[in-house]
Structure 1
Amino acid sequence: MKQHERRRASAGVVWARVEDGFHVGSRYGTYLGSIERSTDGWYDACDMRSRLVGRFPTLVSAMSALSAEPAIQAPRR
Structure 2
Amino acid sequence: PIGVFLMLRRMSLMGDAMSHAVLPGAAIGYLVAGSLSLTAMGLGGLIAGLSVALLSGAVIRMTVLQEDASFASFYLASLA
Q: Structures share a fold, TM > 0.5?
A: no
Higher normalized contact order (CA 8 Å, seq sep 6+, divided by chain length): 2
Structure-2-length-normalised TM-score = 0.28
Larger radius of gyration: 2
Structure-1-length-normalised TM-score = 0.29
Compare the two structures and name the one with the higher strand fraction. 1
Compare the two structures and name the one with the higher helix fraction. 2
